[in-house]
Each structure stands twice: as structure tokens, then as C-alpha cells.
Amino acid sequence: MKKALAALLMLCFMFEGMPSAHAASAAIHNDTLWMDTDGNPIKAQGGGMIEVGGVYHWFGPDFGSAGDYRFYAINHYTSTDLRSWTKQSGGRIAPGMPSIPFQAGDWVGRPYVMWNAATSTYVMVLEWGGHETGVRNQYAFLTATDLSAGNAWTYRSASLIKKLPDASGTLYSLGDLGAYQDGASAYLMYTFDKGQANGGQAILKLSDDFLTPLAPVAGNYSEFSGGTWDNGDVREAASIFKRDGKYYYFTSNTRGWKSSDTAYRTADSMAGPWSARKVVATSPATSDSFNTQHDFVLEVQGTQGTSYVYCGDRWSNYSGGDMGKGVYAWYPLSFAADGSPTINGYASWNIDAAQGTWSATGGLLNPGFESDWSNWTYAGNISIATDAAEVHSGSKGAKSWSNSAYTTLLENASASGLSAGTYTAKVWHRSGNAFASKKLQVYVNGALSKELNLPTTTTWTEYSIGGIGVPEGASVKLAISASGNAGAWAQYDDFSLTRN
């Protein structure tokens, strides 16, 4: 399976001197299928983004259904708030368009867009696979002077890259592509097949017009090669961002379609030296970046500061995953005093693109007990489950059992400051023997809104309560209230609260 489908970086570059058109604070809702303003699913997975005058332009591949990643188009969406996306006809790339050599059935992905002020052109670099025998991926370049023109992009055949070198100048076949712009300079981040598939990663500076890679010499090149698949050394999906004068280099593990941890290195200069690789912390703890593969880190600059957003993709949906939970999941990054980053796994949270700030309002924290009882309160007979048979997903869940009659009360009130709308609450559950009562309950602003009787079944089953009306800024609590007879047992895992 082509690991060109690994994740993509999103590059955000502020075009100086243009007026801001940002909208107000918007809510990001994860674990849902993201739709455009016409009500159609957003198809830009593995794409790139550029900000021009407060308008974000998102370019990304239009893949088909699960398992179908042939080239249909590079779609173009725009937004001012990072929440509401409008599909544009201008700037789109499709087979058969003038100057476009990519054919239906090719692999075309990971389009990164940069603005070159010296030449007054936008430069797009992307992966092109399946076109030439014996070459895994080629890197193609296109240029445009207007992102919204009907046939905006011109293919630059002279810039096509078939292989790239390691430090010694030896050329290798290519895998993943990333790009980063740092003022008037631009860089390629690429994986290459040194020793094994994706066995090397490197950062190489581009020429002043962003159309040609420079030779690997001091100041232009950094390489991370060696290691094995089983210890996480073989990495891909590279992205770079800069915070407080320090460069952060994020990568995912090479795991095919599966989600993975996220790792990082830091440096004081793009020329390095780069620190040893470390795993990015998550809150609550998770080993697979909240069931995503790192795609990019989006830098959001505003009047009150700068925020950094971890943007992940769920490529597992293309191998039979749950498309209903969406292919995009974005989470805010926070940083400790020493600069170490943490991915905060809020199901819902707010971003204010104009101010460059985010707020930890909304969302259900620690929904699967991976951080034990963090964000939960409980009474009666209930404990953390770690046995695989008693856990629906991840490494932990909650369970109850007694050889005498008992009661259980389990509550999570971490969802607060929610956006107005209609929500759905869910839980995965199974149980055995007799219960006098067993309910999933939803409280809105402290008042019982809805409840559902949970039946007894020994098979893990997802139960849901829909149509939960939530006013602006409200708090929501999910609860389990149960009264078990002697010998009754129950297990609970993977609670969720999503806005419809």
C-alpha cells in the first residue's frame, strides 16, 4: 500500500500588507463528518493551506469512497474562521485541464502552496505517483498568479523531481513530501528509500524562486536516517512550524493506514542541529494521537497572539474505518515552560482566527478512561477495567460487578461552554445478569434533559441519545445510573458528545 497516502502538512503563510477578513470565534467539532457550506462532505484530505488577507485557502485531493484514492481533482475551499468552508470552482485542478499532465488513476496528493514575493507567484508542490514505472513518487511544481482563476495553475515541467539525494549525493526513490516557508526561504521535507522503504528523512532548501532543490551542503540540508520499523525510527508525514524563535519538526510513525503517535525534534535554525526525537504528549493520554495520523500543524496568527493547531487525518477510513466519524480531527496544541508540546484532545473547542486564540470550552474530556478517573466522578460499585475483554477500545474502560446487590453512579461534566445546537450522546456498553435499572442520562445546565434505558447484552453495543437541545454556552453532563442485582456485571467505554 502506497505510503504516499501518509499524512500531509498544512502550511500557513501570512501575506503581508493585506487587510484582515477574519470572522469571529468558531467551534471545531471533531469525531463528525465535516461538510462544506453547500452541505457536501469536504474532500481535501492530505491537503495544504495558505492564508491570504485573512482568507484561508485549503487545497486538497478529492478522493472517492473508502479504498479509492485515485486522482479526481485537487479541490479548493476557502474560509475566514477555519470552521465554515466554501468550495470554489476557481483554482481547482482536475484531469484534462490545460497545462495539467496528471491523469485519472494517478496518485496526486499533498499539495503545499507558498507565496513567492520576489516573483509575485504562488508555488504549489505536490506528490505525483503511478505515472512512471520504477519511480515511486515524483514531486511536481505548479505556479499561479491568482488563486481564484478558473485555470489558475501552470505545470512547470522543468522542475519535476524524480529522485532526491542523501548527504553523500546518492539519489533515492521518494515517499512523503512536506514543505515549509520561512520568510523568503522555502524548504522541502521528504522521505526516501535509503536502506528500506522510507528509511530516510531530510530537509532540503529550495532555490529563491521555490522551483528547484539546492544541493545538500551545510546550511541547506539536514538528514535523519537509519533505525527500524519496530522501534518507531522510520517516520514520515513531516511538518515544520516556528514558535518563540524555535523550529519544531513533527512526524508520524510509518504504519500504513493505521493511526500513530506523533514525534518531534527542535532546532534554533533550519540548518540544525536538530534535537533527538521525542514523542509529543497528549492530554488525556493516548498512544495514537486520538486515532489520527499527524498531517500538519497550522499556525494561526491574530491580533492577540498565535495559536498552533495539530491537524490529523484518519486514513484508516480508507481501509474500512468509520467514515461517519470524519476524516479530519483538529486539536489545539499547548506548550510547557520548556517548550515541550501537548496535543489536547477536545471533542469540541473554539478557535478565534482574528485574535489568534483558542479556548478549551466544550468537548468531553477523557471519554474512554485512558487517564483513569480524570474528569469523572463516581460512587458505588465501579472501577477501572484494563482486561482486553472488558475494554471496547484503547487500554482502559469502566466496569462494575458484585455478588450482592449494588448501585453505580458515574458522571462526566467536563463539556462546558458549548456552542448552541442539537447534540447526540453515545456510550459503548455491555452487561450480564439482572439490573433493576441501568440508564444513560444527559444533563444540560444541571437539569436532566434526556435518558435512555440500557438493555442487557453481552455484546459490545453503542447506544445513543439524539435530539439534545443545548443553548449557547451551556454545560452538559453525561451520567450512568445503575442498580444491579446480585451477580450483575456491566462495562462502559468510549462515551461521546457531538454536535449534529
265-301 in b/e form (b: 16+ CB < 10 A) is bbbeebebebeeeeebebbbebebbbbbbbbbbbbbe
Q: What is the pLDDT of residues 342-362, one digit of tens each?
A: 999 988 888 999 999 888 777
Residue 198 CA, distance from chain mean position: 21
Q: Quick one: pLDDT at residue 14?
A: 31
Predicted TM-score of the model (pTM): 0.76
**DSSP annotation of 467:** E
Residue 254 · residue 229 · CB < 8 Å: yes
Q: Cβ neighbours of residue 96 under 8 Å, at least 6 residues apart?
A: none
Q: What is the pLDDT of residues 78-132, one digit of tens each?
A: 999 999 999 999 999 999 898 899 998 888 989 999 999 999 999 999 999 877 7
Residue 109 · residue 5 · CB < 8 Å: yes
Alpha helices in 98-146, H assignment, sequence order: none
Q: Quick one: pLDDT at residue 453?
A: 97
**DSSP annotation of 288:** S
Domains and CATH numbers, the chain: 3-359 (2.115.10.20), 376-499 (2.60.120.260)
CA distance 456 to 488: 10
Q: Quick one: pLDDT at residue 155?
A: 96
Question: Please, how many CA atoms are within 13 Å of residue 235, restricted to the half-sphere of its CB?
Answer: 28
367-401 in b/e form (b: 16+ CB < 10 A) is bbbbbeeebbebeebbeebeeeebbbebebbbbbb
CA distance 352 to 105: 39
Q: Which helix (H) or strand (E) holds 310?
A: strand 306-313
Residue 380 · residue 406 · CB < 8 Å: yes
As averages over each run of 10 residues, the pLDDT of the chain (500 residues) reads 35 32 67 89 88 94 76 94 94 91 90 97 93 85 94 95 95 94 97 91 97 93 83 86 97 85 96 95 90 91 93 74 74 94 89 88 81 92 95 90 97 86 92 96 97 96 95 92 97 88
The radius of gyration computed from the CA coordinates of the chain, to the nearest angstrom, equals 24
Q: Quick one: pLDDT at residue 2?
A: 34
Residue 22 · residue 354 · CB < 8 Å: yes
CA distance 246 to 172: 30
Q: Quick one: pLDDT at residue 459?
A: 95
